[in-house]
């Protein structure tokens, strides 16, 4: 199947070269053909998708105006509720939960006429960097089936990369959109915190979670972001973002020295530096900057995030929400339900969070982490007085093999070392493919991360689109 952008598909629909039903059927066929190996989807509704596509064709036949997203096939990460679909968050504890309402982002996509194909796989409750933690089996990387697609939005990234949908929604708490986007060679965008409503997202860490698009090109990500962003009465943290595009000349790019030290795969570093060089050759000003507290970002994240996880997942106790295991006492019911229905990584993070919030440790860990969070945010604020955007690698390595890091949680957590900073500071950031490297006979993608100042989402998008223009002209 040849890759077509959202605008190209829209043009085909409007010229009646192809119908929405034909387009939808082609993607459903692709899922049927490829997903037995890749396992990007947890559930698919062929009947529902075709019914949505038929409505778009009927509108076109009547001469009614349709938007750019009308008839575009989407995947939705299975921690975002979709009415009438099971929403499991890839956990056994929600195995039989059927959503009675649509998340705000889903409602906006439906209002725009998008065709929802199904729900995509993820690490359980979005906790992981490889999609190996799903209770329903791991997703594989389409570029090498022996390697992970990244996580936690690995199913969404793999579905887009394997052309089983045009685009997908994921969630990003510490890099869960950008890291799998880099591993799968697609575009992944997380907006400024609050720019996209979280209503209908199963919460992991509420002060860090952001919903965003995964797509094949930056323009598609922008079109989707345009549709899903905005203030929402159901989400008190939501905000409006102005669509102010940065001029594409004399762009000032900051390169943080802390992100280019030891621990980066030499091929990843070479590809990222090559991409930055492209900007320089096209008139951008490159400036080395310092983010002095960046080295504490991962430690801060892995204190704050488990703390919020501990609070958010307390509701899944076998009584109020989720699966229920019979026992002789209330405490034993809690224990049996959680032991049987939560995976190892979820239990690990609940325990870490409970410990850091406990009496005697709260000030030593959580309060101190919040103070360092403010210092990290101040570092970014200071940097954006000097530059328009910051460029870094997305990940320190190329996609790793299954089992390579899963037995060592700390090694797995290091996969997020370049992405957590944007979440801690609430900043917009995008991952775009910037090159390929050959590993053991397989071509694997490398991602470039572009981080912008708070509320400067369209600066990030505009500068990311510039790189695609450079590539087409070279």
Supply the residues annotated as catalytic: 77, 152, 176
DSSP state of 383: H
How far is it, in rounded angstroms, from Cα 113 to Cα 120? 20
Cα radius of gyration (the chain): 21
How far is it, in rounded angstroms, from Cα 140 to Cα 142? 6
Asked whether the bond before 152 is cis by omega within 30 degrees of 0, the reply is yes
Using CA atoms, how far residue 8 sits from 18, 66, 219, in Å, is: 11, 14, 11
Helix (H) / strand (E) containing 415: none
Length of the chain: 474
Q: Which residues pair with 16 in a beta bridge?
A: none
Kindly give, in sequence order, each residue whose CB lies less than 8 Å from that of residue 320, ignoring residues fewer than 6 positions away: none
Q: Could you tell me the two tokens for 75?
A: 């995947």
How far is it, in rounded angstroms, from Cα 319 to Cα 325? 9
Are 20 and 115 in contact by the 8 Å Cβ rule? The answer is: yes
Q: Which residues pair with 451 in a beta bridge?
A: 390, 429
- The burial class, CB within 10 Å (0-12 / 13-18 / 19+), for 192 is buried
Helix (H) / strand (E) containing 143: none
Q: Could you tell me the two tokens for 328?
A: 């002789």
Q: Which residues pair with 190 in a beta bridge?
A: 429
How far is it, in rounded angstroms, from Cα 168 to Cα 13? 20
How far is it, in rounded angstroms, from Cα 305 to Cα 284? 36
At 28 the three-state DSSP class reads helix
How far is it, in rounded angstroms, from Cα 237 to Cα 402? 37
Q: Which of 396, 458, 439, 472 is nearest to 189 (CA)?
A: 458
Q: Which residues pair with 285 in a beta bridge?
A: 252
How far is it, in rounded angstroms, from Cα 88 to Cα 343? 13
Q: Are strands 210-215 and 285-289 parallel, antiparallel or unpaired?
A: unpaired
């Amino acid at each position: 199947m040849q890759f077509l952008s959202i605008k190209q598909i829209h043009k085909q629909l409007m010229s009646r070269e192809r119908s929405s039903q034909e387009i939808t059927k082609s993607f459903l066929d692709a899922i049927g053909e490829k997903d037995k190996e890749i396992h990007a989807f947890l559930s698919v509704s062929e009947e529902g998708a075709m019914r949505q596509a038929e409505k778009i064709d009927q509108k076109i036949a009547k001469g009614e105006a349709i938007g750019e997203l009308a008839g575009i096939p989407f995947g939705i990460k299975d921690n975002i509720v979709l009415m009438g679909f099971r929403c499991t968050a890839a956990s056994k504890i929600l195995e039989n939960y059927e959503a009675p309402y649509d998340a705000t982002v889903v409602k906006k996509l439906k209002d725009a006429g998008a065709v929802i194909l199904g729900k995509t796989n993820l690490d359980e409750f979005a906790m992981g960097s490889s999609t190996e933690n799903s209770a329903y089996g791991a997703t594989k990387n389409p570029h090498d089936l022996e390697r992970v697609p990244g996580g936690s939005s690995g199913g969404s990234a793999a579905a887009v990369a394997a052309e089983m949908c045009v685009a997908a929604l994921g969630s990003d708490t510490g890099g869960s959109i950008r890291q799998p986007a880099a591993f799968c060679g697609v575009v992944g965008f997380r907006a400024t915190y609050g720019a996209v409503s979280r209503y209908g997202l199963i919460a992991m860490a509420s002060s860090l979670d952001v919903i965003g698009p995964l797509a094949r090109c930056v323009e598609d990500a922008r079109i989707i972001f345009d549709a899903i962003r905005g203030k929402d009465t159901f989400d008190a943290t939501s905000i409006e973002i102005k669509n102010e595009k940065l001029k594409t000349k004399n762009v000032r790019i900051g390169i943080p020295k802390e992100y280019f030290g030891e621990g980066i795969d030499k091929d990843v570093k070479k590809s990222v530096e090559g991409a930055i060089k492209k900007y320089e050759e096209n008139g951008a000003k490159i400036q080395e900057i310092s983010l002095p507290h960046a080295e504490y970002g991962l430690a801060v994240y892995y204190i704050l995030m488990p703390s919020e996880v501990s609070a958010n997942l307390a509701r899944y106790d076998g009584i109020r929400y989720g699966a229920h295991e019979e026992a002789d006492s209330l405490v034993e019911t809690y224990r049996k339900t959680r032991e049987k229905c939560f995976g190892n990584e979820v239990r690990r993070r609940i325990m870490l969070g409970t410990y850091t919030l406990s009496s005697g440790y709260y000030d030593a860990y959580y309060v101190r982490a919040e103070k360092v969070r403010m210092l990290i945010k101040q570092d970014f604020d200071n940097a954006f007085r000097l530059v328009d955007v910051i460029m870094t690698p997305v990940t320190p390595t190329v996609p790793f093999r299954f089992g390579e890091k899963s037995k060592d949680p700390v090694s797995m957590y290091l996969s997020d070392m370049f992405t957590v900073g944007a979440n801690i500071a609430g900043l917009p950031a995008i991952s775009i493919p910037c090159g390929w490297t050959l590993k053991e006979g397989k071509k694997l993608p490398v991602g470039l991360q572009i981080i912008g100042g708070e509320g400067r989402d369209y600066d990030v998008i505009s500068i990311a689109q510039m790189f695609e223009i450079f590539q087409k002209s070279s």
